[in-house]
Amino acid sequence: MKNKLNGRDFITIGIFNAIGIVIYMAASFAMATTVIGGFIASGVSFMVAATVYILMAVKVKKKGVFTISGTLLGLIALSGGHLPHAVFAVIGGIICDLIIGNYESKGRMIIGYGTFALADFLGTVIPVILFGTASFVERASKWKMSEARINEALSYFKVSWAVGFGLATFVLACVGAFVATRILKKHFEKAGVI
């Protein structure tokens, strides 16, 4: 396995990320119709998109795949004015690449992917817990959330809830990655795609 990403790898990463981000956004918007759904949106979104991301990673099998993926997610977050979310997405991608290593272990790939999702979640919650609710209230008002719904959401911005939702995010993403590895083995390896 050559270690450096080449032009073909960048094209593959770009195509798979485009598909993964569409799935991620669709699942996120669907989950955000309720307050609790909004807090587990990252986990559900990464669970649903896991097959796309894991197939991409296994096809390329080089360091930097998830760093690039995190950067692309970060650019989308940044375009919406969410700098902390963007920073956490990039950091999550870097940590995911470090955990996965040389792609020898499916377990490490699953844990790395779960960490990637967890970082995405933390990028939306930690800034509110650390720096106050003003930024969330401003964004929620732009989203046309009612005052009652904003107050309900604010009640969950506590460390205890963040730990619980963070754990749920990690587990959901890991379940998605586990299922993805099984799907790849059953269908894509036999077909010679990977």
Euclidean distance between CA atoms 12 and 81, whole angstroms: 28
63-95: burial string, b at 16+ Cβ within 10 Å, e else: bbbbbbbbbbbbeebbeeebebbbbbbbbbbbb
Asked if 95 and 116 touch (Cβ cutoff 8 Å), the reply is: yes
Q: Options 1.10.3470, 1.10.1760, 2.60.120, 3.30.70; which CATH number does 7-191 get?
A: 1.10.1760
Residue 108 has pLDDT above 90, yes or no: yes
pLDDT at 161 over 70: yes
User: pTM for this structure?
Assistant: 0.87
Cα torsion 174, 63, 54, 8 to 10°: value is 170
What average pLDDT does this structure show over 163-191? 88
How many angstroms separate the CA atoms of 54 and 179, rounded? 10
Q: Is the pLDDT at 22 greater than 90, yes or no?
A: yes
Which residues fall within 8 angstroms of residue 23, CB to CB, at 6 or more apart?
45, 48, 49, 52
